[in-house]
Structures are given as structure tokens and as C-alpha cells.
Amino acid sequence: MLPTKSKRNVKPIRGKAALAEPPIVPPRRVIIPRPDVLHNYLDHKQICQYMDYLCNRYPHFVRSYTLGLTHERREVRALEINWMNSANFELSQQLRQHSPPQVDLPANSKTPCPVVIKGEQCRNTIFIEAGTHAREWIGVTTALNCIYQLTERHTRNIEVLRKLRFIIVPLVNPDGYEYSRNKNPKWRKNRRPHKSSKFVGTDCNRNYDIFWNSGTGKMNRNTYKGERPFSEPETRALRSMLDRLGPNLLFFLSLHSYGQSIMYPWGYSRDPPLFWRELSTLANSGKCAIKSYNGREYRTGSISCLTKRTIAGSVVDYVYGVLRVPMALVMELPSRDLGFQPPVEMISQIGHESWYGIREMCKRAYDLRHQIQRETEPALPAAASYQAGAGDGAGNEVVSMESKPAAAVTANTEEPQQPTPKKPKKRVKRSVRAQHESILKLQKSSKATAGLHPRQMPKIASAPPVRARGAHGDGPKLPLGVFP
């Protein structure tokens, strides 16, 4: 039988009860699955999913921001880990001591970008970016490991979180990253095509507005600088946050592979920066922390000296030279023997050892914050000439280290400068006839055997016989040519 309707008359609600609004039901919490960030190479969707998972699990100190869209309409996202916000002020008295006196809020209340802190204690932000080059997968996983350590294991790193604010961009170039994962593992640039050529892509680490003209303009190169500064959507997206947070940035770190080194500016010039001693101390602190963890040895020095080439238009030089951030470093992760994409078994090991070095460098940067005052720093040094070479083993264009005439610096530098290395003598190419004549002169002067170089020795046809003797000088005779 079908259910019958009730014949009871239902009276309509009248009076004040009719004007009352229905009770508000709180929205149901969405459960976002957590991808495995420590043992796998994640794609772009999984990286965004992990960032949403952290924002949902730790809403009181984790926020996610979309900086911009790429050519293929993928999001460039940043994660802010700020333990010193208003939601955590009641947790500890020490947090109130490090709380900022003034805060510059954005125009709307949804805060589409991190707030800018004003006051004496304004420089307390650490900025970490990775994934600028598409084929460097290990840098993306290392940045995700840093996010994991600061969020899911925040109780073990509470000492750093109480002093510093972290903003991490784990993947700057998602289009090139997905292309290298699916089609060409050696792809380096982004995927924006050029109208006037069949070649695709621009090196995002040559597209910043600092001595951009010194870069290479050949579109077929892996280090193509682009049509103009900030011509790529990835670099414009990163600049939008860097320019806004410039007064708050204390330490900038760019993750790459695979040089196993920690380097400081400059990349476009051989001249050392004014505070190169403090930057070297900062790099050596991370080097010693990694060595004490598993014995791996890192190299430290300036970018142009360790790479033996000039890098014009890089993000590190832009942050350090244009935005005047006190400390900026490049960390080349250790995968030289395994290439740009080490096996999956090495992801967790490289990520953990790199985090030990990064955490120690963040602590040292906080201690050095009052020793570096860049407001009265002189003008930038002159750029080095950019000449294309044969290339290095990684497929990158090698450039010469010849410097242009240095610009006159009016201010006197208090720190002693590093001695500039001597230029290597150029080897003059000689013809085959000239080489043959020089060999003949050497042969006549040293009376060597005809047809042989004086340094060479003629082969001995047979060795002389060896006769073994006993303790008293007499012993059994052995066959000729046999050593006893």
C-alpha cells in the first residue's frame, strides 16, 4: 500500500516565530586526501592538493595564495606558514614579544596576498622557491619536504616558527615541469611559444630585470633570456609577491640541482658583494649542518666563481641587487651522479639532509639580521661580457668570464674585497706546418732519435738477463729474462 498523507490540519506559523531565520547549519568539513610527498615525484595537481590539505588541517597558521596563471592556465601557488599571526598569540608569551607593531592589510578582507609588516622588527620572512627549471624535479620535492617539516612536524621546529615567517613556492614553472614529466625529461624552459620562431620556451632564471641585456638572445638555447624582462607569466607572478614583500624579506633561497653547492651573489659579475663575508658565513653554516648529518660535503662560494660562467638576469641577483634583501643564496642539491631526477629511493634522504642545512641557515640569518645594513650600499658592479661557448655537460651555455670596465664607485667600502683571479692565457692556434718545424728544431737541439719527440723514449727490444744470487753472493742461475 502507498503511504497516505496525514489529514491533520497544520496551522501556519505567525507572529515573531515567522520572522525568525532558520538555524545556520555549519558547513561540513571537506576531507582532502594527503598525497605522499616524501617518497614520490608529484605532478602539479597533487602538489596543489597537498597545499589544500595543509590549509584545511592547519587553518590557524597555513594559507595558500595563487600568484598567477601560466601559458597553459596552470596556477603558480605559494604557501605561507605564519605561526606569529593573531590566532596564535594566546599560545605563548614569547609570541607576543615577536609580534609586529603595525600591519599593512590588503584592500579586501580576504587577504589575497601575505600582509606587509611595518616597524623595526619587519624583516622576519624567509622566501624559498623551487621548480624554476623544469627538469630539476628534486628541487620541487625538497621544497615540499620543507613544507612538511614546518607544518606536519611543526612541534619539532617550533623554535624557528616562533621567530620567522615562511613563504614557499614549490613549483614556479608548472608547464615545463609537466612537459618534462610526460614527454622530454631534459626540458629546462617554460612552454610559452614565440611568434617569430618555431622554438618554444624561455629560461625563467634569465628573465629578471637585472643586467638582462647581457643574456643570450638565441631562442634555440636552453638559457634564452626572453623577448624582454619579465616577459614570462611565471616571472611576473613571482615578481608580484617579491616586490610587495621586499621590505619584509630577510633571507631568500632558490633551490636547483645538481651542483652540490651553496652559492651567493653575484652571478652576472665576478666582483664580490659588499657583505660577502656574512654571506659566506651563512652558506658555511648550512654546509656544516649537512656534513654533520650524513657526511656529504658541499661547496661554497660566489655563483660566477663556482659555476665558472656568468648568469645574467637571475632571480637571486634581482632579489639581492634590486630589492636589497639582506641575504640571498642558491642551493644546488646533490644529484650529480644521478642526474636531474635521482631515483625515488633517494628523495627522502636528499630532502631530509637539505632541510637540516636550510633550517640552520634560517637560524643563522636571524642572528645576522642586524649585521647587514644595505641602505648605504654603493652601486651595483659592472656586468661581465656574455660570449657563447661550446656548452657544459648539462646542456647549458657556457660564457666567458671577461669583465667590462668597472663603473666608478663613489662610496668607500668598509669590507676588504676579494682578489680578482688572473685571466688565463689564450692558447694560440698554430698550423700543422709550424708545429712540425718546431718539433724538428727540438729534435736537432736535443739529438733525439729521428721521428720521435725528445720527451719520448724508444722502446727496448728485450730486457737484459737477470741473475739471482744467494746470501753469500752465489746462487742458482735462472733462465734469461726471468725475475726471481
- How far apart, in whole angstroms, are the C-alpha atoms of residue 94 and residue 38? 32
Residues 6+ positions from 198 with CB-CB distance below 8 Å: none
Q: Enumerate the active-site residues.
A: 332
Please state, in angstroms and as integers, the Cα–Cα distance from residue 114 to each residue in 67, 152, 346, 358, 411, following that order.
11, 21, 34, 22, 36
Q: Give the distance from CA 274 to its chain's centroid.
A: 22
Half-sphere exposure of 292 (CA within 13 A, CB side): 10
- How far apart, in whole angstroms, are the C-alpha atoms of residue 327 and residue 126? 10
- How far apart, in whole angstroms, are the C-alpha atoms of residue 364 and residue 9? 77
